[in-house]
Structures are given as structure tokens and as C-alpha cells.
DNA sequence: TTAGGGTTAG
């Protein structure tokens, strides 16, 4: 019979917890408790706390906390730190802060645990405030503290604060850590300054998958999609190690104006490297194909996946909705439920979007109701905007307006944009004026409301009001961005703006266009002249 | 006991 001591119990427990067998681990902890409080040491608590860091097990953290107080360990720094970490990981920020507040002795880890815990829970502002408070005190930050506060700057898009931290790190001479460099690049690109991010990237002595992914995403988020893809291609050609995370990041860059051919090439890279079973990669592929217009290929990737998660289903539902196949989107939702996959808030956005485009208003309202009542998902303004869009597209403008008036929160610009868009489709200038005014209040620098309202007036032939709206826009905001069309031929993307004759084959293109137009008229189609802005005669409008 | 990047809608 071996002699058991506290250490062997602790090792036993931590073994089960490491393997993810939380229930057995907890079972052994209970047996240890039954032996009496004398058997517990600090490590018994920190071991338990470090494992139960998911929301479902937040009760364990609370139980341990009670025991800690009961035994009188609450002023032990290591135990307090572990409690803080555990509470933040479970999402119980209030309790984490309470423990922090009650601790008499605080070391770097204590401060860093709270600062990074706040970041993990998206409370970036509080995190930076605490970082400032810490810098006034006697405990010095370490590189993990800086790392966390840089992440807070990323979340807040706080360029000024980010630069300050960069300055401190430079003075300390510790900015040349790869993890710090990645966080700096991320901060700069999230703050919209790719140039600074690139400077950090170039000055870095070494690179790894993470830092490459950060700069790639930085390009993409700042509208340098081509650069992002080219960067990836360059890395692959140079034979540099890439990982599935980097691949899913590059797949996320693809959209309507990127080349499907390049996407297929990346797909072949994925197959060669054996990344096909990674869910992030597969989901990225479904989305890439769907956005580049190849729905069939999306379906293929989706059906080949062995373990589809909720994002796979959401992505596929959205793909059908995007391609105008609303009924297939709704069928897929049924299949998803039959497979026992829980819908998420994004599932409902896709479903509402699908209903909106096929005019299934009642079905859509049913989904909206079931989201809150059955699935206990609280709607975000995006959901409200989707409902408004759905009602509005169906011509139920008054219903849309009263829906907005009944909202429990202040409607934001997405909601007003949806209403204004619907007014524009149905040519309702009165409600359009109302929606545009609200939208201008919500987003005074956006040209969108003016343009949409001007379009509505045009369609009604109300030229004077149209002119007034345009004048108001010119006083208030910068010019509207030019609309571009494009086509991909053999991996080259050709783009066009209105009245564009810069293409080498412009003459032929316009000839074909004229030919198509004649066919259209012959077949009996009438051009839609409602949304032409300028006051022109009938021929010119066509 | 604190630990850098990635997929879904609009």
C-alpha cells in the first residue's frame, strides 16, 4: 500500500485535467477534500484553477474560491493570481476584478493577469487604464504586460497609445522579441497604418508563421487584397514554412474582385501540404469559392468535410443565400438542426438574408422570433437591420418603420441604411427623406444617404429636390467613391468605371455592348431608367 | 499563476 501525500494527489488530479477529463479530475479533488482540509496545499488549488478555464465549468472556479477563503489562502499571491486568471477565462470579469481589488500583495503576474484578462474579454479600454495605473506604481511591467496592452491598443484602434508603448519598448531595448513584433504589427495594421506595420516587419530579424499571418491580414484589412495574396504566393514560392492558420487567413482575402484562378492554385497548395482536414481551411475554401462565384465547388468542399462545425454550416447557408438560392439555404438549416448543430447569431443573419432575398417575410420573422425565444441568442443591430431590410424589400415599409420604432435599443446606421435602401427600391420619397435624415444624423460624413435619396428623387422626376440633396452632400462630405466593374480572364482582372475607354480593346467592347443592347430591346426588355441621376432626354438615359 | 496570428453575415 503506497503512502499517499498531497503531492501525489495533486499530480494525479493534474494528470486527468491535462487529458481533458474534467469530471474524473474533479472526482479525485472531492476525494482529497474528504481527507480533510489539512491535505490541501496551494498547489492543489492552482492545479484545479488552471484547468477549469471554460465557461461551462465556471462553477468550479467559484467552489475553489469559497474553499480558498475558508482555508485562509486568499492572501496568497499565487492562489489569487490563479483565481483571477480562471475567472477571466470563464468570462466572469467582475469576480476577477473583485479578487484583484481584495489582494494586498500584487506582483507582475497579478497585474498582467488582469490586464490580459480584460483584453480577452474585449474590455480594451479598462485594460489600458489599468496598464496606466500599473505604470504609476512600484511593480514593473514585463514583456507579457506590454504584449497584452498592445493587444488592447489593437482592439481600440488606439494608434497614439500604441506608439507610446512602442516607444517604451524601444527605450527598454526589448522590442526585438518576435511576439512583441507581431503584436506591434497587428496594432499598427488594426489602426490603419500598414506602413508602420511593414516597417516593423522589415526590421524583424526573424519571421515565423504568426508574424507572416499578421502582416498578411494587415494588408487585407487595409484594402490591399492583391498585396496580401501576392505576399502569400511569394512566401510559398520561396519555400517558406506556412501553416493552416496562414492559409485560412489568405483564403479570407478572396472576394468578388479577386481571381478565382489564384484561389484554385492556393487550393492545390492546401492539398499538397495536407491541410484539407483543418476546419479553418475547409471553411475558408467554402467561402472563397462562394465569393468568387463558384458555388458548385463550395458544395463539393462542404460535402467532403467529415466534421462540420457551426461555421461550416453558416458559411454554406450564406453561400446559397448569396447565390440567390434562398430555399436551399433554408433546407440546409433544417439539415443542420437534424445533425444537432446549434445555430449561432451569424446563422440567423444568413437566414434572414436568405429570406429577404426570396421574399419569405413570415418565415424570416419566425426565425427572428425563434432566435431569441428558443435559442436564447440576443439580437445585435445587424439582426435588426436584416429584419428591416427583409420587410423593406417586400414593400412593407410601414411595418419596417414601426419595427424600428419598437426596438429596445437606439437604431444605428445599419438599420437606417436598410430602410433607406428599401425606400429607394420602392421609390418612396417621403419615408426615404425620413430615413436619410436619420442616417445623416447617425453618420454625418457618409455620402451614402445623400446619394440614395438623390436617386429616389431622380426616379420621381423631382429634379429640384435632387439638386438640393446633391448640393447638401457636397457641402457636408467628400465625393462618392467611383463604382467599378470587373471581369477575370486567364488570371488577369480587367476593371472598368463609367464611360471608361482606357482598355486596349475598348472599341470592340463597346461594339459588343451595343449589340447586346439591341438584342435586349428586340427581346422586349425595357431599360430601368428610374435611377439615372442626371436630367437627360429619353435616349441618353437608355 | 500572465503568452503573439486564422474561418462565418452586412
Q: What pLDDT sits at residue A477?
A: 66
* Cα–Cα distance measured from residue A42 to residue A31, given in angstroms and rounded to the nearest whole number: 17
* Cα–Cα distance measured from residue A11 to residue A43, given in angstroms and rounded to the nearest whole number: 10
User: Helix or strand or coil: residue A495?
Assistant: strand
Distance B5 C1' – A197 CA (angstroms): 14
Q: Which nucleotide comes closest to A386 if you measure CA to C1'?
A: B10
Which of A124, A138, A113 shows the shortest CA–CA distance to A49? A113
Question: How many degrees, rounded to 5, is the angle at CA A460 between CA A458 and CA A465?
Answer: 60
Which grid cell is A279?
476546419
Nearest protein residue to B4's C1' (by CA)? A179
Distance B1 C1' – A56 CA (angstroms): 21
Question: How many degrees, rounded to 5, is the angle at CA A61 between CA A59 and CA A63?
Answer: 70
CB burial of residue A482 (10 Å; 0-12, 13-18, 19+): exposed
Residue A340 main-chain phi, psi, to 5 deg: 80, 20
Query: Model pTM?
Result: 0.79
Distance B2 C1' – A106 CA (angstroms): 12
As a dihedral over the C-alpha atoms of residue A79, residue A81, residue A83, residue A86, rounded to 10 degrees, the angle is: -130
User: Helix or strand or coil: residue A192?
Assistant: coil
A474, A467 in Cβ contact below 8 A?
Answer: no
Q: Which nucleotide comes closest to A112 if you measure CA to C1'?
A: B2
* Cα–Cα distance measured from residue A62 to residue A49, given in angstroms and rounded to the nearest whole number: 10
Q: Which nucleotide comes closest to A322 if you measure CA to C1'?
A: B9
Largest CA distance in chain A: 102
Which grid cell is A464?
429640384
* Cα–Cα distance measured from residue A370 to residue A377, given in angstroms and rounded to the nearest whole number: 9
Distance B9 C1' – A268 CA (angstroms): 27
Q: What pLDDT sits at residue A480?
A: 46
Nearest protein residue to B5's C1' (by CA)? A210
Which of A191, A188, A190 shows the shortest CA–CA distance to A202? A188
* Cα–Cα distance measured from residue A280 to residue A485, given in angstroms and rounded to the nearest whole number: 30
C-beta atoms surrounding A413 within 10 Å? 19
* Cα–Cα distance measured from residue A455 to residue A424, given in angstroms and rounded to the nearest whole number: 7
Distance B2 C1' – A260 CA (angstroms): 44
Q: Which nucleotide comes closest to A382 if you measure CA to C1'?
A: B10
Which of A316, A297, A247 shows the shortest CA–CA distance to A276? A247
Angle of helix A209-221 relative to helix A225-237, nearest 10 degrees, comes to 150
**Chain centre to alpha carbon of residue A312:** 15
Distance B7 C1' – A444 CA (angstroms): 34
Q: Which nucleotide comes closest to A278 if you measure CA to C1'?
A: B7
Q: Which nucleotide comes closest to A344 if you measure CA to C1'?
A: B8
* Cα–Cα distance measured from residue A395 to residue A512, given in angstroms and rounded to the nearest whole number: 36
Nearest protein residue to B10's C1' (by CA)? A382
Question: SS in 3 state form for A437-451?
Answer: HHHHHHCCCCCHHHH
Q: Which nucleotide comes closest to A147 if you measure CA to C1'?
A: B4
Q: Which nucleotide comes closest to A280 if you measure CA to C1'?
A: B7
Nearest protein residue to B3's C1' (by CA)? A144
Which residues, 6 or more positions from A300, have their beta carbon under 8 angstroms from its beta carbon? none
Distance B10 C1' – A43 CA (angstroms): 49
Nearest protein residue to B7's C1' (by CA)? A280
Q: Which nucleotide comes closest to A321 if you measure CA to C1'?
A: B9
pLDDT in tens, chain A (542 residues): 456 788 999 999 988 888 888 888 889 999 998 998 889 999 999 988 888 777 777 888 899 999 999 998 989 999 999 999 999 998 899 999 999 999 999 999 999 999 999 999 999 999 999 999 999 999 999 999 999 999 999 999 999 999 999 999 998 886 678 999 999 999 999 999 999 999 999 999 888 999 999 999 999 999 899 999 999 999 999 999 899 999 999 999 998 878 899 999 999 999 999 999 999 999 999 999 999 999 999 999 999 998 899 999 999 999 999 998 999 999 999 999 999 999 999 999 999 999 998 889 999 999 999 999 999 999 999 999 999 999 999 999 999 999 999 999 999 888 999 999 999 889 888 898 899 888 888 877 778 788 888 888 888 888 888 888 888 888 776 554 455 555 656 655 566 565 566 666 777 777 777 777 677 666 666 655 544 444 444 555 55
A435, A419 in Cβ contact below 8 A?
Answer: yes
Distance B5 C1' – A178 CA (angstroms): 12
Which of A450, A370, A447, A379 shows the shortest CA–CA distance to A415? A379
CB burial of residue A22 (10 Å; 0-12, 13-18, 19+): middle
* Cα–Cα distance measured from residue A135 to residue A172, given in angstroms and rounded to the nearest whole number: 14
Which residues, 6 or more positions from A131, have their beta carbon under 8 angstroms from its beta carbon? A115, A141, A145, A148, A149, A152
Nearest protein residue to B6's C1' (by CA)? A245
* Cα–Cα distance measured from residue A199 to residue A208, given in angstroms and rounded to the nearest whole number: 16
Which grid cell is A284?
475558408
Distance B5 C1' – A426 CA (angstroms): 45
Distance B8 C1' – A291 CA (angstroms): 12
A179, A146 in Cβ contact below 8 A?
Answer: no
Distance B2 C1' – A395 CA (angstroms): 55
Distance B4 C1' – A39 CA (angstroms): 39
Q: Which nucleotide comes closest to A84 if you measure CA to C1'?
A: B1
A88, A118 in Cβ contact below 8 A?
Answer: yes
Q: Where are the domains of chain A?
A: 1-105, 485-541
* Cα–Cα distance measured from residue A326 to residue A164, given in angstroms and rounded to the nearest whole number: 50
DSSP string, A322-347: HTT-HHHHHHHHHHHHHTTPPP-HHH
Distance B4 C1' – A113 CA (angstroms): 16
Q: What pLDDT sits at residue A468?
A: 87
Q: Which nucleotide comes closest to A50 if you measure CA to C1'?
A: B1
DSSP state letter for A132: H
Distance B8 C1' – A5 CA (angstroms): 50
A354, A368 in Cβ contact below 8 A?
Answer: no
Which grid cell is A35?
481527507
**Strand B nucleotides within a 7 Å radius of protein CB atoms:** 1-10
Q: What pLDDT sits at residue A521?
A: 67
Amino acid at each position: 500500500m503506497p503512502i499517499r501525500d498531497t503531492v501525489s494527489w495533486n499530480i494525479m488530479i493534474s494528470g486527468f485535467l491535462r487529458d481533458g477529463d474534467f469530471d474524473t479530475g474533479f472526482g479525485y479533488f472531492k476525494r482529497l477534500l474528504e481527507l480533510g482540509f489539512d491535505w490541501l496545499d496551494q498547489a492543489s488549488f492552482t492545479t484545479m484553477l488552471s484547468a477549469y478555464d471554460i465557461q461551462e465549468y465556471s462553477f468550479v472556479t467559484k467552489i475553489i474560491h469559497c474553499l480558498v477563503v475558508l482555508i485562509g489562502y486568499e492572501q496568497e499571491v499565487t492562489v489569487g493570481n490563479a483565481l483571477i486568471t480562471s475567472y477571466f477565462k470563464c468570462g466572469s470579469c467582475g469576480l476577477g476584478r473583485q479578487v484583484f481589488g481584495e489582494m494586498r500583495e500584487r506582483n507582475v503576474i497579478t497585474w498582467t493577469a488582469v490586464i490580459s484578462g480584460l483584453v480577452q474579454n474585449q474590455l480594451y479600454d479598462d485594460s489600458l487604464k489599468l496598464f496606466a495605473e500599473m505604470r504609476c506604481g512600484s511593480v514593473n511591467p514585463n514583456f507579457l504586460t506590454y504584449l497584452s496592452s498592445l493587444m488592447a491598443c489593437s482592439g481600440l484602434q488606439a494608434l497614439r497609445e500604441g506608439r507610446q508603448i512602442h516607444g517604451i519598448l524601444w527605450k527598454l531595448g526589448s522590442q526585438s522579441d518576435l511576439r512583441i513584433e507581431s503584436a506591434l504589427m497587428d496594432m499598427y495594421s488594426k489602426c490603419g497604418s500598414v506602413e508602420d506595420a511593414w516597417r516593423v516587419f522589415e526590421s524583424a530579424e526573424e519571421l515565423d508563421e504568426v508574424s507572416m499571418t499578421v502582416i498578411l491580414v494587415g494588408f487585407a484589412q487595409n484594402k490591399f487584397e492583391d498585396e496580401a495574396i501576392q505576399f502569400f504566393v511569394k512566401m510559398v514560392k520561396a519555400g517558406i514554412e506556412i501553416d493552416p492558420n496562414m492559409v485560412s487567413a489568405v483564403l479570407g482575402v478572396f472576394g468578388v474582385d479577386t481571381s478565382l484562378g489564384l484561389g484554385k492554385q492556393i487550393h492545390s497548395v492546401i492539398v499538397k501540404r495536407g491541410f484539407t482536414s483543418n476546419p479553418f481551411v475547409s471553411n475558408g475554401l467554402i467561402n472563397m469559392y462562394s465569393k468568387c462565384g463558384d458555388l458548385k465547388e463550395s458544395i463539393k468542399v462542404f460535402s467532403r468535410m467529415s466534421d462540420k462545425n457551426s461555421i461550416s454550416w453558416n458559411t454554406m447557408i450564406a453561400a446559397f443565400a448569396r447565390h440567390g438560392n434562398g430555399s436551399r439555404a433554408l433546407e440546409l438549416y433544417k439539415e443542420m438542426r437534424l445533425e444537432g448543430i446549434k445555430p449561432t447569431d451569424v446563422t440567423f443573419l444568413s437566414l434572414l438574408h436568405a429570406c429577404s432575398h426570396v421574399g419569405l417575410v413570415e418565415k424570416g420573422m419566425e426565425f427572428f422570433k425563434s432566435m431569441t425565444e428558443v435559442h436564447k441568442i440576443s439580437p445585435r443591430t445587424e439582426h435588426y437591420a436584416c429584419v428591416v431590410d427583409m420587410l423593406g424589400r417586400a414593400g412593407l415599409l410601414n411595418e419596417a418603420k414601426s419595427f424600428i420604432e419598437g426596438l429596445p435599443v437606439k437604431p444605428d446606421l445599419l438599420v437606417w441604411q436598410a430602410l433607406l435602401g428599401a425606400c429607394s427600391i420602392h421609390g418612396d420619397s417621403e419615408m426615404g427623406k425620413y430615413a436619410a435624415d436619420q442616417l445623416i444624423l447617425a453618420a454625418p460624413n457618409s455620402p451614402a444617404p445623400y446619394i440614395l435619396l438623390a436617386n429616389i428623387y431622380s426616379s420621381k422626376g423631382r429634379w429640384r429636390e435632387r439638386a438640393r440633396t446633391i448640393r447638401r452632400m457636397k457641402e457636408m462630405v467628400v465625393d462618392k467613391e467611383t463604382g467599378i466593374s470587373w471581369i477575370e480572364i486567364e488570371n488577369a482582372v480587367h476593371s472598368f468605371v463609367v464611360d471608361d475607354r482606357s482598355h486596349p480593346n475598348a472599341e470592340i467592347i463597346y461594339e459588343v455592348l451595343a449589340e447586346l443592347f439591341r438584342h435586349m430591346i428586340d427581346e422586349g426588355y425595357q431599360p430601368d431608367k428610374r435611377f439615372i441621376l442626371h436630367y437627360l432626354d429619353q435616349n441618353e438615359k437608355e
